[in-house]
Amino acid sequence: MKMSGGVEWALHCAFALTAADHPVSAARLAEMHDVSASYLAKQLQAMSRAGLVRSTQGNLGGYELTRPPSRITVLDVVEAVDGPTPAFLCTDVRARGPLAASPEACRTPCAIHRAMTAADEAWRASLRSVTIADLAAQVTGEHGRGVLDGVRNWFNAAP
Amino acid sequence: MKMSGGVEWALHCAFALTAADHPVSAARLAEMHDVSASYLAKQLQAMSRAGLVRSTQGNLGGYELTRPPSRITVLDVVEAVDGPTPAFLCTDVRARGPLAASPEACRTPCAIHRAMTAADEAWRASLRSVTIADLAAQVTGEHGRGVLDGVRNWFNAAP
DNA sequence: GAGACCATACTCGGATAGGTCGTGTCCGAGTGGGGGGGG
DNA sequence: CCCCCCCCACTCGGACACGACCTATCCGAGTATGGTCTC
C-alpha cells in the first residue's frame, strides 16, 4: 500500500497558493519546489478537475485556489490526486468456494469489510479535520509569518 | 493508493483458522476460498514470517495460529501481508528549491507530514481495535454458530 | 490621441513511453506418516 | 505380536515471469498581453 508521491507535491502547492494573490503557473510552482514541472502539472490538473483550483490560460495565467483555504481539507487534495476509491476492495470471498455463504446472507457487508471500511473512514475523518488554512497556521506559528511572505514575494518577483 | 488484494485472503484465512483444531494446508485454505493456491501461499508465508501463524511441514502439516485469536488484531494481519511501511512517504520537499527551509528548521516533521502521520495512526488504531476473535464473534452473532462448525467439519473431512 | 486589429509568447490539457511494484506461478528442500520387514 | 527402518507423498519456502499502475514526458489547443496600424 503506497500512496502516490504526487500527493505531497499537491499539498505543498495548495499551501503555497495560500500566499499567492494572483494565478501562479505550474512551471513556477515546480521551480519553487524543485520538482518535475511536467509531472506536477498532472497533479494540478487533477486538482483542477476536482474543483479545488481554477486554471486560467494565456499570459500571466496559472492556478489559484477556488475557495478560501479554510474550506479546503487535506482530504480534498488527497482524494483529488490519489483518487476517491477506498484502499480496500472487498471481493466477497465468502460467497465463493464450497462453503460459500448464501446470497441473502451477503446482503450486509461481511465483518472484515466492515472493519476495513471503519478504518478507512477513520483515516478520512482525520484528514478531513485538517484544512489547508490549519497547515498555514501551524507553519506561521512555528516558523513565523516570514515564510508565507517569502513565498508571496517570490511569486511576485519576475521570473 | 491500493491495498494488496492478498490482505483480504489473509484475513479470511485467519478467521477460518479460528475454527481449526489442527494444522490446515495452504492448498486446503485456497480450495475453501476458491483462490489461487500458489498466491495464497505467499500471503501465508508472510504471516508465518510475522509470527502470526506457525507452519508445520510434512504430511498432515499446514498452518495454525500461534496465539489465541483474541490476541491477533486485524492490523497484525494487514501489516504482515501489506508491509508495515506507512502509505505516505515524506520526501522533505520544503528543504529543496530556492525557498528551501533551513536545515535546523527541518528538525521537526513539517505540518503536512504530521497530518498524514496522524491519519495513518488513526487508521492503524482502528484496525488495532478489532481482533480476529471479534470478527468471529460478529459472524456467529449474525449468522449463528453453524458457520464456524461448518468450517471445522470441512477441515476435518477428508480431501 | 484613441481605438481596433494582429502577431506572439505564454498558459493549460490530454495523449504518449518507461520504471517499479504487485500478481500469479513454478519447482526444489525438508519432514512426518504409513507400510513392510525383522526380531 | 511388537518394534524398527525405509519409502513416499505431502508440506512449506523461496526464486522466477507477467501485467498493471505510478512516474515522467512531450506536443497540441486556447487565450490574454503588448505592439502596431489606421482613423
Please report which confidence band the pLDDT of residue B107 belongs to, taking 50, 70 and 90 as the band edges. Answer: confident
d(CA A92, CA A106) in angstroms, rounded, equals 8
Cα→Cα distances A73→A2, A76, A97, A103, B112, Å = 21, 5, 43, 39, 12
Give yes or no for CB of B45 within 7 Å of strand C.
no
Does the CB of B120 have a partner CB in chain A at under 8 Å?
yes
Nearest CB among B3, B122, B151 relative to A126 is that of B122
**Is the CB of A155 inside 8 Å of chain B's CB atoms?**
no
C-alpha cell belonging to residue A76: 480534498
Average confidence (pLDDT) over B146-159? 91
Q: Which residues contact A34 (CB under 8 A, 6 or more apart)?
A: B93, B96, B97, B98
Overall average pLDDT of the B25-37 stretch: 96
Amino acid at B135: L
Span B40-96, pLDDT tens digits: 999 999 999 999 999 999 988 999 999 999 999 999 999 999 999 999 999 999 999
Q: Which residues 6+ apart lie within 8 Å of B5 measured at CB?
A: A89, A91
pLDDT tens, position by position, A55-68: 999 888 999 999 99
CB within 8 Å: A11 and B112: yes
- In this predicted structure, the answer to whether residue B157 has a pLDDT above a threshold of 90 is no
CB B64 within 8 A of CB B17: yes
Inter-residue contact B41 to B26 (CB < 8 Å): yes
Query: How does the average pLDDT of chain A come out, rounded?
Result: 95
Tell me which of B46 and A158 has the higher pLDDT.
B46
Q: What is the Cα B65 distance to its own chain's centre?
A: 13
Cβ atoms B5, A91 nearer than 8 A: yes
* Closest alpha carbon to A10 in A58, A49, A60: A49
| Inter-chain touch B93–A35, beta carbons under 8 Å | yes
The band of A110, judged by pLDDT with boundaries at 50, 70 and 90, is very high
Buried b (16+ CB within 10 A) or exposed e, B81-101: bbeeebbbeeeebbeebebbb
SS3 A56: strand
pLDDT digits (tens, 9 = 90+) for B110-128: 999 999 999 999 999 999 9
Q: Which nucleotides of C are covered by protein (CB under 7 A)?
A: 9-15, 21-27, 29-33
**Residue B155 to residue B159: CA distance in whole angstroms:** 9
Mean pLDDT of B98-106: 86
Q: Is the dihedral of CA B14, B16, B18, B24 positive or negative?
A: negative
pLDDT for the residue A149: 95
Q: Would you say the C-beta of A74 is within 7 Å of strand C? A: no
Q: Which residue of A has its CA nearest to B120?
A: A123
* Cell triple for B127: 484496525
Structure confidence at residue B105 (pLDDT): 81
CA to C1' distance (Å), from A48 to D32: 20
Instruction: Give the Cα separation of B8 and A24 in Å (integer).
Output: 44
Residue-level pLDDT at B103: 84
* Closest residue in A to B138 (Cα–Cα): A111
Helix B132-143 to helix B74-82 angle, to the nearest 10 degrees? Answer: 120
Residue B27 is placed in which grid cell?
A: 492448498
Helix axes B6-19 and A111-128, enclosed angle (nearest 10): 130
Distance of alpha carbon A141 from alpha carbon B14, whole angstroms: 47
Per-residue pLDDT, averaged over B18-41, amounts to 96
A30 CA: distance to closest CA in chain B (Å): 9
Q: How far is B9 from chain A (nearest CA, A)?
A: 8
Q: Is 80 exceeded by the pLDDT of residue A158?
A: no
A·B CB contacts under 8 A: 157
Lowest mean pLDDT among A68-82, A86-100, B94-108, B118-132: B94-108
pTM above 0.85, yes or no: yes
The pLDDT value recorded for residue B28 is 96
Nucleotide nearest to B42 (CA to C1'): D13
Reported residue count of chain B is: 159
- Tell me which residue of B62, B34, B33, B37 sits closest to B48, measured CA to CA: B62
Q: What angle do CA B31, B35, B38 make, to 5 degrees?
A: 90
Give CA–CA dist B155/A48, Å, rounded: 54
